[in-house]
Amino acid sequence: MSAGAADRRGVACVGNWLLDIVHDIPAWPQKSDLVRISAQTSGLGGGAANVAADLVAMGVSYPVVPVGLVGAGGLGDEMLLLCERAGLDVSRIGRTGAAATSQTHVMNVPGDSRTFFYHSGVNDLLDPARIDVAGLAAQGLRIFYLGYLNLLAALDRIGPGGRTVAADVLAEARAQGMMTCVDLVSSQSETYRETVFGTLPEIDVLFLNEVEAVRATGIGISAAADVDGMVRAAQALVRGGVRRAVILHSAERSVWLEEGEAHVHVPEPVPADQIISPVGAGDAFAAGIIHGLHEGWSREECLALACNAAGACLKGQTATDGLGTFLLEEARGRMPG
């Protein structure tokens, strides 16, 4: 960040905005079988939406500026209503009739895992002109968060020299004095690695989980507690150009690699009987780190909040309804002085 960045306040949450429809099912069916949906809940989804809603739910004192697209129809109306209920400013969320509102149908087996069926819709149309980095910088924002790389077609496009459009957007954000934070997604793509490495040189802080680390680097990670594999993957991403830190997290470990040193954090496990849905836990983790970075907290303080936020998320039905102001109150209570 530039010398004046310390005077900035606020976070731009740019990227995926979609309607999450979470279906609770008792077990995953065999092919051609029928399984009964025991419960169904709609909520905000996507990296930008979840991080923005999480920060507001935690009661942060600085501006949170959502940036993205929704469709012109009824699903878009529902999305904006959910945003307003979450206390989000929708003035920079555009609308278009060129595609449908992006949506994900989440098949959730409580206490186990979830599977996503995703329709990209308008998320594929988010481009630099719709983001308006200069306008965000003029608001005096401190952090520019982008999520998710590899799920935003216009920004994922790889140009000459292997550089992505997202890299150009992030470069402008950095030049305007904002810290760039980027989150990956566990999608399948023939160009997954190329998109990631074509963007790394303009990323200050990169978030990813162990599945995404394998897909981005090709380095094996044998299990959620395979610290050696996680460190090797993080090192490969730093060599690829990440400017400050790679923060690689799983359900059992977090690895923060910065200035050549890997710091490992072991989160407090959440009992299986308290887990309602894992949807959005990674975004809650990122929101905790982003808040700590914004406030100039230590690495340990950032990770403590991030893991507590992820744990709280697991106890809610949607990606955001498990979080609240208690997280920052507890964080302040743990700080010296």
Q: Please tell me whether residue 108 adopts helix, strand or coil conformation.
A: strand
320 inside domain = yes
Q: Domain holding 303: CATH number?
A: 3.40.1190.20
Question: For 154-188, how does the pLDDT look when each residue is reduced to its tens digit (9 = 90+)?
Answer: 999 999 899 999 999 999 999 999 999 999 999 88
298 inside domain = yes
With 90 as the cut, is the pLDDT of residue 333 above it? no
Beta carbons within 8 Å of 299's beta carbon, 6+ residues apart: 256, 258, 263
* Higher-pLDDT residue of 100, 115: 100
178 inside domain = yes
50 inside domain = yes
Contact yes or no for 16/46 (Cβ under 8 A):
yes
242 inside domain = yes
* Higher-pLDDT residue of 95, 114: 95
Average pLDDT in the chain? 94
Please state which of the ranges 100-109, 119-128, 197-206, 214-223 shows the lowest mean pLDDT: 100-109
125 inside domain = yes
Per DSSP, the residues of 193-227 read HHHHHTTGGG-SEEEEEHHHHHHHH-----STT-H
Interatomic CA distance for residues 147 and 16, integer angstroms:
6
3 inside domain = no
Compute how many other C-beta atoms are within 10 angstroms of the C-beta atom of residue 328: 21
pLDDT of 136:
97
How confident is residue 259, by pLDDT bands cut at 50, 70 and 90? very high
With 90 as the cut, is the pLDDT of residue 237 above it? yes
33 inside domain = no
Which residue bears the tokens 């979450």?
A: 86
Cβ burial of 149 (10 Å; 0-12, 13-18, 19+) is buried
pTM summary value: 0.92
pLDDT of 20:
86
How confident is residue 335, by pLDDT bands cut at 50, 70 and 90? confident
Contact yes or no for 100/75 (Cβ under 8 A):
yes
Question: For 74-83, how does the pLDDT look when each residue is reduced to its tens digit (9 = 90+)?
Answer: 999 999 999 9
Give me the mean pLDDT over the 68-90 stretch.
95
Domain range for residue 226? Answer: 9-28+38-334
Q: How many structural domains comprise the chain?
A: 1
Interatomic CA distance for residues 168 and 159, integer angstroms:
10
